[in-house]
């Protein structure tokens, strides 16, 4: 008897097809939304999304404390930029931008405390 749980057969291409098959393929989705649509765990969806981000096939942005949205880059040049930057830094462009923004925000808050 097979163990209950998420389908191990969800591929990165399944996730891409989920984006492409919607009315607006550029509308961002969350990992839980992908998981619900594909019938897999959130962890599986997140792993596949990260694989796609490393390949430059999806982009992401952190929103709120722990949430992240994912979308298809709008043009081939966007995908090329994400792929090139990701391979150079070992991370996705979106993550690098988010980390930089968070560091700048933290520095600004610290400067405001010092000046107060």
Residue 32 resides in a domain: yes
Residue 92 domain flag: yes
- Per-residue pLDDT reduced to its tens digit, 35-64: 999 999 999 999 999 999 998 899 998 888
Contact 62, 68 (CB under 8 A): yes
In a domain, 34, yes or no: yes
Asked if the structure places residue 3 within a domain, the reply is no
Domain span at residue 47?
Answer: 12-115
pLDDT tens digit sequence for 75-99:
654 555 555 555 555 556 666 676 7
User: Residue 103's domain is classified under what CATH number?
Assistant: 1.10.10.10
Domain membership flag for residue 37:
yes
pLDDT at 76: 52
pLDDT winner (highest mean) among 4-8, 24-28, 38-42: 38-42
């Amino acid at each position: 008897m097979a163990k209950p749980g998420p389908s191990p057969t969800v591929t990165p291409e399944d996730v891409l097809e989920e984006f492409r098959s919607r009315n607006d393929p550029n509308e961002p989705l969350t990992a839980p939304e992908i998981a619900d649509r594909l019938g897999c765990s959130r962890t599986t969806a997140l792993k596949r999304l990260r694989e796609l981000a490393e390949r430059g096939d999806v982009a992401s942005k952190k929103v709120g404390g722990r949430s992240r949205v994912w979308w298809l880059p709008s043009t081939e040049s966007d995908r090329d930029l994400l792929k090139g930057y990701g391979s150079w830094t070992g991370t996705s462009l979106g993550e690098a931008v988010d980390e930089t923004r968070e560091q700048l925000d933290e520095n600004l808050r610290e400067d405001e405390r010092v000046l107060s």
